[in-house]
Amino acid sequence: MTTTAIHHSISKLKTQIELQLQWGESTVWSNYDFEKLSEQIVEKTGVSLSVSTLKRIFGKVNYKSEPSLTTLNALSQFLSYDDWRDFLTKNPENAAAPAPKQETPPTPAPSAAVPSWNRQRLVLLMLILVSLGIFSFFFLSSKPKYNPEDFRFTSKTMLTQGLPNSVVFDFDATKANAQDSVFITQSWDTRRKVWVNKNDKHHSSIYYYPGYFKAKLMIGKEIIKEHEIQIKTDGWLSIVEADWGKEPLYFKQSEILKSQTVEVNKELLDKYNLTLHPTPPKIRFFNQKDIKGIMTDYFTFETELKSGDVDDANSCQKVAVLLQSKNDILIAPIVSKGCIGDISLAAYGQYVESKTADLSGFGCNPKEWTKLRIECQQGLMTLYVNNKQAYTTKISNSATEIVGVQYRFSGAGAVRNTWLEGEKSKVIF
């Protein structure tokens, strides 16, 4: 099988996965989407594909090598094929409509020959028509089909803060063409894109997780209007992550707030019959609120954290610390030293992974209290772990306001001494 044929078949494989998941095109998937895909593949096939592997497959990370047969088998089985060979058999390379057969036109009789100057004019005319067609296609396809002023799109949240929270969208899309579908996308996350009747006026949705979102009114693939929504917490919030679309378990603040720490320990997990085997529950901590004027290109952030007891299901003790800003994210890893070979860092437009960068500085003993400090001045960011420089990078996205902090643990975890400071203000979490 040629390299071109392999790439074409892998492209078919990715398209079928996109259609099955209904999350939209993979080009707009976030790191969270690839985490969820990795989990679903494990649940269905028993094969664990890392987030970095999936990103390489879907073109989010440049990588020249071909995927391994194990990876292709797992992705095929996720689509209910027996294996990669079964996928190729049922999706042959020539399944697409074959190109028209090129036939050599008959040579005209000498008496019917077209004069040379007429042939030149004919070729020139054909080139002009082709050029006009290409120009018209790109010009018309890039021109917006609708005037945003003909539409209305606003929203209101039911709670000032706290989860779960409902949002009521008010819209007017009556001027959409009958053949075009109207959607409301609650955020960057295309899984939250839902079809609405263009003649309706309201649509309600539940937000189970806090965050800063950009809701959109779409007609087909065209974004007509958009606005920002922030779902805030009432101080610290800790949850057990649930499958997509299902309500997570919310711990009470009285259960997680200690004198000096925010903590979910084994006793609390036992209280809710949450076991660490065979897979530890995914625990998240949030503190999302109005933070004014602390920008992603100039800030200092410091926190201390530790994971729970080590067991066979959580030997790497991976922890992710997130600083969310308006429409942007920083995700810093903390992991046991032996597991630094499969981690990544996302920093406001910059993304690196341990396959191609030295991220060994993020290795430590997460079972003990670990200090993470992040300093950013004029866009130059340096991250420290236990007062040792772990990584330095230059952020590439435009500066926006930081709005919240989040932690992701596998199993039990704790946080303390967390604060954020900008040029003119400081927030103690």
The CATH number of whichever domain residue 197 belongs to comes to: 2.60.40
DSSP per-residue codes, 157-215: ES-SS-SSEEEEEEEE-TTS-TTS-EEEE-SS-GGGEEEE-TT--EEEEEE-S-EEEEE
Nearest Cα to Cα of residue 416 among 252, 194, 256: 256
Can you give the pLDDT at residue 101? 39
Write the single-letter amino acid at 1.
Answer: M
Asked, for residue 142, whether it belongs to a domain, the answer is: no
Return the minimum-mean-pLDDT range out of 24-28, 174-178, 345-349, 396-400. Answer: 24-28
405 with 270, same domain: the answer is yes
Asked, for residue 185, whether it belongs to a domain, the answer is: yes
Asked, for residue 121, whether it belongs to a domain, the answer is: no
218 with 265, same domain: the answer is no
Q: pLDDT (tens digit, 9 = 90+) per residue, 379-429?
A: 999 999 999 999 999 999 999 999 999 999 999 999 999 999 999 899 999
Can you give the pLDDT at residue 99? 37
158 with 251, same domain: the answer is no
Asked, for residue 129, whether it belongs to a domain, the answer is: no
160 with 253, same domain: the answer is no
Q: Residue 348 pLDDT > 60, yes or no?
A: yes
Return the minimum-mean-pLDDT range out of 75-79, 141-145, 368-372, 409-413. Answer: 141-145
75 with 219, same domain: the answer is no
Nearest Cα to Cα of residue 360 among 376, 380, 338, 375: 338
Percent of the chain with pLDDT over 70: 86
Instruction: Tokens for 207, please give them.
Output: 């937000």
d(C-alpha 345, C-alpha 321), whole Å: 10
Q: pLDDT (tens digit, 9 = 90+) per residue, 250-309?
A: 999 999 999 899 999 999 999 999 988 888 899 999 999 889 999 999 999 999 999 986
Q: Residue 328 pLDDT > 80, yes or no?
A: yes
Last residue of one domain, picked from the residues 94, 122, 140: 94
Q: Residue 108 pLDDT > 70, yes or no?
A: no
Asked, for residue 137, whether it belongs to a domain, the answer is: no
Q: pLDDT (tens digit, 9 = 90+) per residue, 159-194?
A: 999 999 999 999 999 999 988 889 998 876 555 678
176 with 265, same domain: the answer is no
Range of the domain at 169: 148-231
- Kindly report the length of the chain: 429
221 with 266, same domain: the answer is no
227 with 241, same domain: the answer is no
Query: Mean of the per-residue pLDDT values for the chain?
Result: 86
Asked, for residue 117, whether it belongs to a domain, the answer is: no
Whole-angstrom Cα Rg for the chain: 27
246 with 271, same domain: the answer is yes
253 with 215, same domain: the answer is no
259 with 408, same domain: the answer is yes
Q: Are 213 and 186 in contact (CB under 8 A)?
A: yes
State the CB neighbour count (10 A cutoff) for residue 184. Answer: 21
Nearest Cα to Cα of residue 20 among 91, 90, 89, 77: 77
Can you give the pLDDT at residue 236? 97
Asked, for residue 106, whether it belongs to a domain, the answer is: no
Return the minimum-mean-pLDDT range out of 96-100, 115-119, 148-152, 337-341. Answer: 96-100
| Bridge partner list, 171 | 153
> Inter-axis angle of helices 69-78 and 31-45, to 10 degrees?
80
Asked, for residue 124, whether it belongs to a domain, the answer is: no
Last residue of one domain, picked from the residues 50, 68, 94: 94
Mean pLDDT for 301-330 is 86
Last residue of one domain, picked from the residues 94, 129, 156: 94
The CATH number of whichever domain residue 359 belongs to comes to: 2.60.120.200
Can you give the pLDDT at residue 334? 97
For the chain, how many structural domains are there in total?
A: 3
371 with 276, same domain: the answer is yes
Can you give the pLDDT at residue 188? 64
CA torsion, ordered 268, 274, 278, 283, to nearest 10 deg: -70
